[in-house]
Structure 1
Amino acid sequence: MTAPTLAPAPAPARPAAAPPPIDRAALAQRTDQVAAVAAEHVARTDRDASFPVEALAEMRRTGLLGLLVPTRYGGLGGDTDAMVRTSIALGRVDMSVAVIFAMHCQQVAALVRYADARLREELLPEIAAGRRYLASVTTEAGKGGHLLTSAAALGRDDDRLVLDRFAPIVTGGEYADGFLVTMQSPESTSPNQVSLVYAHREQLTVERSGDWQPLGMRASHSVALHLKGTLPGHQVVGEHGDFRSMVTAVFGPMAHIGWSACWLGTAAGALSRVVKMLRGPQSRGRVDLGSELLLTRLSRARQRLDTVHALLAQAQRVVATHEDLSPPRIQLLLNALKITAAEECHLAVDGLVEAVGMRHGYLKDSPTRLEHSLRDLRSAALNYSNDRLHLVDGRLALLDQEVRLD
């Protein structure tokens, strides 16, 4: 007896293909739109130490807030290289806007890699649609920006998390739609057991403390905030107590690469404006373009920027090609990028001030805007202190006896 012939089962429906990641030209167009808005308001936001709300609105409208969100969630599907190009371009116009963008991208990268499926489904489409700008809450009184410890304990109430957190510096925090917050893990036995949790703004009471009147980075509006609220348990990002591994894999690399791109963009923009001024019709007959002192100072500024650019490109390649970023030689490279970019970009602009003198180097109303760039870049060495990183690097150097550079 032969078996009856059965009709083949219908093939399962194939999910709709995700749109391709954004290409360079399209990304550059969106970035230019944000940069144009930032440029329109940069003098006011720096003068008033006011957050660049117009530039943020344009980031929302253009989809740049979703640059690192995968296309299946509606994002642009960009990668770290795309973040770097965008941060450099924004930094040419306003370092505060660039850092706001890069730090948001750092938070998004952590969610993409470590959030569970439920939180990703809830949050990533909202980021892609421009409805969620994220701020980072890692600073604590007495420890600065040190990431690997926390004194503020995360509580539990059945399956909910209880958050009570003061942070002395939260970049853009008053304008954020959500926060990624470091806390000492529930039931922890050490301040080194740190968890990362996500909180919607509407889940919290957010109280500002003090004012923001810094030397530079005035538009970053990095005020002190006190956050209190109760969160669903699934809003922990990754495993409780496992933030250290996130720092090594995502938070540290994205911070050092993103910040360095912003600083490089700011210094490159300053050099570009100086060269355009020197070559412009207003300088004819007034500036000796053959001056050996001027040419030497321009050369040194360009050398500093090319050095940072080369180190940034190398760090990007290493991060893109290594799954494990914990070996000492890789950590040393990433820390060297941050230290070198902070120092060399500031020195490049400082040298340009010397090159063009009081009128175009020191006064606020010069089209070179060197005074503004110099103030902003002075923060770079303090933004996670270079001194602290040198101490870390000294210990790491002792672990790499062969001094492996590959």
Structure 2
Amino acid sequence: MNSTPSWLSHGIGGTPLVLLHGMGSTADVWLPQLAHFGRTRQTIAWTAPGYGTSPALESLDWPSLATALADMLDTLGLPRIHLLGHSIGGMVAQSFYHQHPDRVASLILSATSAGFGSTDPHWQEDFLRQRTEPLGKYDSFAQAAPDMLAGFMGPNITEPMRQLALISASQIEKERYIDYMRLLVTFNRKADLERISAPTLLLAGELDNQCSAQGHETHGRQHAQCTISGTGRRQAHGQPRKPATLQSGRGRLPGAAPLTTDLRSTRYRTPIMDSSYLAEYAHSADANAHFNGLPLTAEQKALIAKVDEYGVKWAERAFKYDREASFPTENYDDLKEMGFLGLCVPKRLGGLGADYRTYTLVASRIAYYCGNTANTFNMHNANSLWTADMIDAMELTDEEREAHEANRRIHYGNMLAGKIYSQPFSEGSGAAAGKHAFGTTATRTADGWVLNGKKIFASLSGHADYYGVLCTDDVPGATLADTLFMAIPADAPGVSVVGDWDPLGMRGTVSRTLIFKDVLVPETAQLMPRGIYIKAASQYPHMFMTLTPTYMGVAQAAYDFAVAYLRGDVAGVNVKRRMYPTKQHAIAEMYIKLQQAWALFHRVTSEFKRRPSREERSRAFACQYTVMEYCAEITSMAVRVCGGQAMLKTFPLERLFRDSRCGALMLPWTAEICIDRLGYGLLYKEGERDDE
């Protein structure tokens, strides 16, 4: 069973900083610090074992907690760290230091001590009674949190920080909190103080009546001390009245002095730009038609109009997701409310029943407002697109068809209930491009299947409820014909998310690395019968274009922003620039490229079918390449025509510019693969080879 604690991570480089929360918190409480310190170094916040999504320990004691922290660091590949512990987290930090002193570059001990209270058993029993009895009138710790935490926060706590503390506390089970309270009273490492040789910074809130600066005297005067004015026990959430100062000491973590004023949130900001101009400009699908001249259907128009109802706020949230490289969770809450998590689930099974063409139109409109949401939405919907009507049309045995129907009812039900599915195919090799079998293996057992392997660039990692994983049946001489398509629960023992995510663009996809270690799943985890995926992939090549709508929408968004900017229709832009010939020529060139891309997009997405002709397959490659490359060219031209001001992060264009460059790199149909296959297919007839 996997016992490694869960964690949040942000940033890269430097000696990593690891944050250990206090008694009534989880890793989420450190979000502002992750955002701030992640700018200059890798910063990790753990969720203590038994809290939130972290597995509980068989025995909750100080050595076991230190070992759990060491296991997490080993999983992350971190040999040496700066370690910050708050309250009981500071006690875990001390325990870890005494077990692994060579792994700690420096210690930051916040609102903690070397020994808790008294060793008198009667005192300990009385303390526990005072702390735990009030919990009896609440059904959960989440209900108790507002009252329990009020006394720790101090008078200057900001409202966003108070809400963050309560959200973090809501993930804790009451029984687990009591277990940690019982452990708390047993801590006593006063005799070990002289053994701490690492540079140590001691933090205390001025108004903390439980762990004051004077209480830190027991740690010895050889370390640096810092009192944060105007804050209580939770200094990280307070608003200091003035910058903190360090008392003299032997050593401290470089850069620790400004820590206190930098603890305030960079996460909670109002939208960077008023995006209301999009309400007028959002006509990326409305102004276009099918290749054969047929207009959009009533159903397609209704779905697109539904996206428009939410789109402007998605565009405004997009700034935050990009800045923080964070998942668009709020947008997925909206998609659930809209019923769109079941967009491609057949109507007879409770979904909206969107076909391939309709999906591409809806996805392009979502991308018009937020490319990251559309990119990840593709991953979710692909799981239902792959497993619905196109599989029904294939040759299956009666047994396979019956099992598939039963399995997909389960997974479609999950989607309709709001569960998010991802589709991590990439393995850092040729498997995702169809060159050889997938390295992730599935071994059949009496209880189902056991998976082992790794997926890189796994979008939605840490945020999906299920990972739709391609893997290979672990049989002798396995080939692509032995491919399995499995839905792996994100909370299954043995599933872990590792690595950082700080890319150029599409930052909100959170595409980290997934590790599967002896992950047991039942037979019902199969999204397709064994071996069917490869057959479907060869017969429905257009399925590898489900990312194309994202970049079609991004291209339209960049063009519309440029027009609105030059017309002075964007909030904060009061100067019109439309009268200059150079601007007019550039917009005309962008429009031509945009319409070329739309025309090919509409024709090709209308040609989706089983076993398309050679010409239709070639057009699919051409469409994928054209949209991905034209998207980058259009956004680049938009940057040039709008000028320097539009490159500021207060506008969306610089984000669209970065996002656009990512499309050509995405497997299985990268721009290079499309050109390679298209060129070969145009010069060679089916089965034709050069004489050797």
Fold in common (TM above 0.5): yes
Aligned to 2:615: 329
**1:142 to 1:248, Cα distance in 2 relative to 1, 3 A:** closer
Cα distance change, pair 255–104 in 1 and its aligned pair in 2 (3 A): farther
Q: Paired residue for 1:181, among 462, 465, 469?
A: 469
Indicate which of 561, 565, 585 corresponds to 1:296: 585
Return closer, same or farther for 1:329/1:159 CA change in 2, 3 Å cut-off: farther
1:215 aligns with 2:501: no
Alpha carbons of 1:159 and 1:334: their partners in 2 closer, same or farther (altered >3 Å)? farther
Q: What CA distance in whole angstroms lies between the structure 1 residues aligned with 2:615 and 2:554?
A: 28
Alignment partners' CA distance in 2, 1:157 and 1:144: 25
Q: Identify the residue that residue 111 of structure 1 maps to in structure 2.
A: 387
| Percent identity for Structure 1 against Structure 2 | 22
User: Which of residues 392, 396, 399 is equivalent to 2:677?
Assistant: 392
Partner of 2:525: 235
Rounded to whole Å, the distance in 2 between the matches of 1:374 and 1:212 is 19
Pairing 1:316–2:615 present: no
Structure 2 match to 1:359? 645
Displacement of 1:73 in angstroms is 1.5
- Would the alpha carbon gap of residues 330 and 29 (structure 1) be closer, same or farther in structure 2, given more than 3 Å must change? closer
1:42 to 299, 318, 327: 318
- What is the Cα deviation at residue 324 of structure 1? 1.5
Counterpart selection for 1:68 from 327, 331, 344: 344
Cα displacement (A) at 1:65: 0.9
Higher helix share: 1
Matched, 1:247 2:537: yes
| 2:504 counterpart SS class | coil
Of 156, 159, 165, 2:453 maps to 165
Per the alignment, residue 439 of structure 2 pairs with 151
Which residue does the alignment assign to 1:261? 549
Aligned to 2:134: none
Equivalent residues of 1:106, 1:255 under 8 A apart: no
Select 1:278's aligned residue among 562, 566, 586.
Answer: 566
TM-score, normalised by the number of residues in structure 2: 0.51
2:354 pairs with one of 68, 78, 94:
78
Letter in 1 for 2:428: A
1:140 positional shift: 0.8
In 1, the alpha carbon distance for the partners of 2:575 and 2:384 equals: 51
> What whole-Å deviation, never above 9, does each CA across 1:84-108 have from its counterpart, x for those lacking one?
2221211112111111112211111
Question: 2:415 & 2:376 partners in 1: Cα distance?
Answer: 15
Residue identity matched to 1:160: G
Q: Aligned with 2:664: secondary structure?
A: coil
Q: 2 CA distance for matches of 1:197 and 1:147?
A: 17
C-alpha displacement at 1:144, in angstroms? Answer: 7.1
- The 10-residue stretch of structure 1 (234-243 or 98-107) with the greater mean CA deviation from structure 2: 234-243
Residue 136 of structure 1 corresponds to 423
Corresponding residue number in structure 1 for 2:664: 381
Tell me the alpha carbon deviations over residues 41-80 of structure 1, each in whole angstroms, 9 at most, x when there is no partner.
2111100100111001111111111111111211111122
Regions of 4+ moved over 4 Å: 281-286
Moved more, 391-400 or 329-338: 391-400
Aligned length: 371
Pair 1:286–1:313, CA change in 2 (3 A): closer
**Paired AA for residue 163 in structure 1:** L
1:286 is displaced (CA, Å) by 5.0
Secondary structure, in 3 states, of the residue corresponding to 1:215?
coil
Which amino acid letter does the alignment assign opposite residue 329 of structure 1? Answer: E
Q: Deviations over 1:79-132 (max 9, x none)?
A: 2232122212111121111111122111111122447111122121221232x2
Higher mean C-alpha displacement, 169-178 vs 200-209: 200-209
**Shift, 1:259, TM fit:** 1.7
Note if contact 1:328-1:397 (Cα within 8 Å) is conserved in structure 2.
Answer: no
Determine which structure has greater relative contact order: mean sequence separation of CA pairs < 8 Å that are 6+ residues apart, divided by chain length.
Answer: 1
Query: Following TM superposition, by how much is the alpha carbon of 1:283 offset from its aligned partner in structure 2, in angstroms?
Result: 6.2
Is the contact between residue 37 and residue 58 of structure 1 (CA under 8 Å) also seen in structure 2?
Answer: no
Partner secondary structure for residue 92 of structure 1: helix
Given candidates 625, 632, 637, the residue that maps to 1:346 is 632
1:397, distance to aligned residue in structure 2 (A): 2.3
Residue type matched to 2:671 in 1?
N
1:177-236 CA-partner distances (Å, limit 9, x unpaired):
112111122325244332222223344532111110001101111111112411222433
1:278 is paired with a residue whose SS is helix
Alpha-carbon distance between aligned partners in 2 of 1:218 and 1:59, rounded to the nearest angstrom: 19
| Contact map agreement 1:185 1:241 (CA 8 A) in 2 | no
Q: Distance in 2 between matches of 1:147 and 1:172?
A: 23
Query: For 2:480, which of 192, 215, 231 is the aligned residue?
Result: 192
Separation in structure 2 between the aligned mates of residue 290 and residue 28 of structure 1, nearest angstrom: 33
1:10-66 per-residue CA deviation (whole Å, 9 max, x = no partner) reads xxxxxxxxxxx9934542343234424422321111001001110011111111111
- Which residue, 654, 659, 676 being the options, matches 1:371? 654
Q: Contact 1:203–1:230 (CA<8 Å) still a contact in 2? A: yes
State the distance in 1 between where 2:474 and 2:319 align.
Answer: 45
Q: Which amino acid aligns with 1:162?
A: V
- CA distance in 2: counterparts of 1:255 and 1:195, whole angstroms: 17
**Is 2:590–2:637's contact at 8 Å kept on the other side of the alignment?**
yes
Q: What CA distance in whole angstroms lies between the structure 1 residues aligned with 2:639 and 2:338?
A: 35
- The one-letter code sitting in structure 1 at the alignment partner of 2:605 is Q
AA matched with 1:306: Q
User: 5+ residue gaps in structure 1?
Assistant: 1-20, 402-406
